[in-house]
Amino acid sequence: MSALPTSAVIGVIGAGAMGAGIAQVAAQAGHSVILHDNQPGAAIAGIDNIRRQLERRVAKGKMTQDDVDSIIDRLQPADAINALADSRLIIEAIVENLDIKRQVFAQLEALCSTDTLFASNTSSLSITSIAANLEHPERMAGLHFFNPAPVMKLVEVVSGLATTAEVGETLYATANAWGKVVVHASSTPGFIVNRVARPFYAEGLRLLQEGASDAATLDALLREAGGFRMGPFELMDLIGHDVNYAVTRSVFDAYYGDTRFEPSLVQHALVEAGHLGRKSGQGFFDYREEQREGAIKPRPNIAPPAQVELPPLVVQGDPGVIAPLLERAQETGLDVVRRESLQQDGTTRLRLGDLVLALSDGRCAAERAVNEGLEALVLFDLCFDYRSASIIALSASHATSSEARQMATAFFQRLGMDAVWLTDTPGLVVLRTVAMLANEAADAVLQGVCSAQDGDLAMQAGVNYPRGPLAWADSLGLPFVHRTLTHLQQSYGEERYRASFLLRRKALSEESFHE
């Protein structure tokens, strides 16, 4: 299908941050836009704010004043909803209340021709439910922009039960013509991003609650080892705990209490205390301190320098994903000796004398040491790029001596990496987070919410993940990811960590999500 022509008038309902942002996107694409808000003067204020935002770009040399004037000329404020009658597409961006949204679209249906397309920017409500009482629900879809709409690239086109394929494709083409990265999703709780992203917050919260480490350290590991732009705690502080907790509760309730989406008591306590993050001055971190002279930001709890002479590094088995780590070791002048693996499952082990180093596989070090008959065992975490990672998480079995721990610390420090010791926790930090993100994305594909390609694209464009979760799982090997999830479920004895059937099937068949 073709995009709507620029001659088509776009109506936007709601002149708050999201509505004004969407109106700006459409006007910048060349459309005449009518911005309506039922609060007198709100639409004018919204357009004035758009002008101020654009003129800042002029001041920075990123736009001309003529361009700004042209965009503003295409924006028309309207206090009355009747002004939207001739719009070709109307996008609603008002309060997240199902009854109010239904009332608005009922009014629009009485005003507009049957050719007018209706879209809601809802992030949590069912498109099927919003459209249910319309005479023509087939013309209704979700058009979910991310805040701030002029900056964030992703748009989810969400089809309800009645939405026609033609409507979905027209909206897809239109958003694409507006310069957006567009994905298709079906109307299920959380759509793609707000569903698949839940483990990013949930695993961090659980690790904190279990005392694996502190928030600043966990953030640093996911940021500097995992490659994520922000850690979960600084991100939740930025979003606001009231908002993030409400989305988690919404998805959890919508999936009838599925434990994969279970809210955290740690975050609930912050909401109860009014510690909502940056906007309240306090969340996981105290932002009031930023205003004080000499304030020091919380830092990760890294191990002090270890002065230990390292023996040759013996590599048993094919290094696979950790090959770049061994390249770093060789570049430092460390003697690296390669040998065949003695393990039936092909597991790669690194040895420094009697100490065994191994990539985590979802088991805690204590369990793995018992299972494999090892005395001194240190597990290390997954890194997005072992060549450039500046920090790494470690854990040790209970019988591992302090001298062996020092040797492990010294090894990674020699590679130029800060070592962080966690309590002995299954899957450490990056590995368990990536495995759970991939697992949730796999279930979304299995249930027809999105394709594997759109799922990955949404997480990269919508929340700036360094790699799509399913592509990441493919690169690690689906059997390894499935084994990690199985070990996590065995460790905790909870359904929360059950492997998606689709991921399990592909792992057993030695397939991938991106053939």
pLDDT confidence band for 124 (50 / 70 / 90): confident
% pLDDT > 70, the chain: 97
Strand-pair category, 355-359 with 377-380: parallel
Choose among 294, 298, 304, 246: nearest CA to 270. 246
Res 284: pLDDT: 95
Res 293: pLDDT: 56
Q: How far apart are CA 495 and CA 504, in angstroms?
A: 15
Q: Is residue 332 within 8 Å of 414, Cβ to Cβ?
A: yes
Strand-pair category, 313-316 with 349-352: antiparallel
Q: Is 144 a catalytic residue?
A: yes
Tokens of 163: 């939405």
Q: Is the pLDDT of residue 341 over 80?
A: no
Main-chain phi, psi angles of 351, to 5 degrees: -125, 135
Res 425: pLDDT: 97
Q: Is the pLDDT of residue 292 over 70?
A: no
Q: Is the pLDDT of residue 345 over 70?
A: no
Q: Is the pLDDT of residue 1 over 90?
A: no
pLDDT confidence band for 300 (50 / 70 / 90): very high
Q: In what order do the strands lie in the sheet with 418-421?
A: 336-339, 313-316, 349-352, 355-359, 377-380, 391-396, 418-421
Catalytic residue among 123, 187, 213, 395: 123
Main-chain phi, psi angles of 452, to 5 degrees: -60, -40
Catalytic residue among 87, 159, 186, 194: 194
Q: Is residue 427 within 8 Å of 485, Cβ to Cβ?
A: no
Residues 141-193: tens digit of each pLDDT? 999 999 999 999 999 999 999 999 999 999 999 999 999 999 999 999 999 99
Res 339: pLDDT: 84
Using alpha carbons, list the distances in angstroms from residue 454 to 80, 157, 460.
38, 11, 10
Q: Is residue 23 within 8 Å of 51, Cβ to Cβ?
A: no
Q: What is the mean pLDDT of residues 288-312?
A: 82
Q: Is 398 a catalytic residue?
A: no
Q: How far apart are CA 441 and CA 260, in angstroms?
A: 12
Res 344: pLDDT: 58
Catalytic residue among 31, 36, 144, 241: 144
Tokens of 95: 């309060």
Helix count (H) and strand count (E) of the chain? 20, 15
Residues 205-246: tens digit of each pLDDT? 999 999 999 999 999 999 999 999 999 999 999 999 999 999
Residues 315-340: tens digit of each pLDDT? 998 899 999 999 999 999 999 998 87
Choose among 298, 313, 339: nearest CA to 410. 313
Q: Is 97 a catalytic residue?
A: no
Strand-pair category, 140-145 with 117-120: parallel
Q: Give residue for tokens 């204020």.
A: 45
Q: Is the pLDDT of residue 121 over 90?
A: yes
Q: Is the pLDDT of residue 418 over 90?
A: yes
**Least confident interval from 112-126, 285-299, 351-365, 380-394:** 285-299
Res 69: pLDDT: 95
Residues 81-111: tens digit of each pLDDT? 999 999 999 999 999 999 999 999 999 999 9
| Cβ atoms within 10 Å, residue 54 | 21
pLDDT confidence band for 295 (50 / 70 / 90): low
Q: How far apart are CA 82 and CA 100, in angstroms?
A: 17
Q: How far apart are CA 186 and CA 463, in angstroms?
A: 19
Main-chain phi, psi angles of 78, to 5 degrees: -150, 125
Q: Is residue 262 within 8 Å of 249, Cβ to Cβ?
A: no
Res 335: pLDDT: 92
Choose among 57, 9, 16: nearest CA to 37. 16
Q: Is the pLDDT of residue 266 over 60?
A: yes
The per-residue DSSP string of 41-90 comes to: THHHHHHHHHHHHHHHHHHTTSS-HHHHHHHHHTEEEESSGGGGTT-SEE
Q: Give residue for tokens 């027209």.
A: 170
pTM listed for this prediction? 0.94
Q: How far apart are CA 86 and CA 298, in angstroms?
A: 55
Res 291: pLDDT: 60
Catalytic residue among 31, 36, 92, 156: 156
Q: What is the mean pLDDT of residues 275-281?
A: 93
Res 348: pLDDT: 87
Mean per-residue pLDDT over the chain, rounded: 95
Using alpha carbons, list the distances in angstroms from residue 167 to 36, 91, 93, 117, 158.
23, 13, 19, 7, 10
Q: Where would I find the H helices in 354-425? A: 365-372, 402-414
Q: Is the pLDDT of residue 290 over 90?
A: no
Q: Is the pLDDT of residue 296 over 70?
A: no
